[in-house]
Amino acid sequence: MSELQISRIAKWALIVLLAVVLIMQAAGNRASGTSFDEMAAAVRQNADLSPMSEGDNQMLKRLYGIDGAGYDGFMLYYPSSSMGAEELLLVRLEDPSQQETVKAAMEARRAAQLSNFDGYGAEQTAMLENSVIDVKNNYALFVSAQNAAAVQEAFQKAY
């Protein structure tokens, strides 16, 4: 083979590789077609909500600093007692551009709770350190619970 033929083959191989990468990335950034009610049911089914209270938009604003009216839906459960660290927030985003805002709000809430229990709440601190923040295109999940991994798995399956 001549250098010209090798060069052409190399160019085509790079083009094909680039196309495959772009297709895979586009497929990974697809919005979920799962309705909010279906997603909420899947997450709720795998979470122990007994140590939590259901929150409304006012509580969402208070704890996370975001307004639920700006999203396609949200489900909030927060600690029933001041010594609780169990918490669950599921948000369906209207637009992927909201990802950073919601993720930052979830991270800020986790950091605030870690600070609240610093020095005396070993069990709560461990739970918060093992909490999950999972943001996928049009959904975001924050869960701090003993079974956070199981809730995240249900979220990922429903997605």
User: For 131-150, what is each residue's pLDDT tens digit?
Assistant: 999 999 999 999 999 999 99
pLDDT of residue 1 exceeding 90, the answer is no
Looking at the chain, the whole-number percentage of residues with pLDDT higher than 70 is 91
Answer whether 0.75 is exceeded by the pTM. yes
In the chain, the amino acid numbered 79 is P
Q: Cβ distance 113 to 130 under 8 Å? A: no
Which pLDDT score, from 0 to 100, does residue 73 have?
96
Closest by CA position to 135, among listed 107, 113, 114: 107
Query: pLDDT confidence of 18, banded at 50, 70, 90?
Result: low
Q: Does residue 91 register a pLDDT over 60?
A: yes
pLDDT at 113: 96
* pLDDT surpassing 90 at residue 29: no
In this prediction, residue 26 carries a pLDDT of 54
Of 97, 98, 108, which Cα lies nearest the Cα of 133? Answer: 108
- Residue with the bigger pLDDT between 59 and 14: it is 59
Split at pLDDT 50, 70, 90, the class of 157 is very high
The Cα 5–Cα 23 span in angstroms is: 27
Question: Residue 124 and residue 85: Cα distance in Å, rounded?
Answer: 5
**35 pLDDT band (50/70/90 cuts)?**
very high
Mean pLDDT value of segment 99-107: 98
Instruction: Report the pLDDT value the prediction gives residue 5, as an integer from 0 to 100.
Output: 79
- pLDDT at position 68 is 96
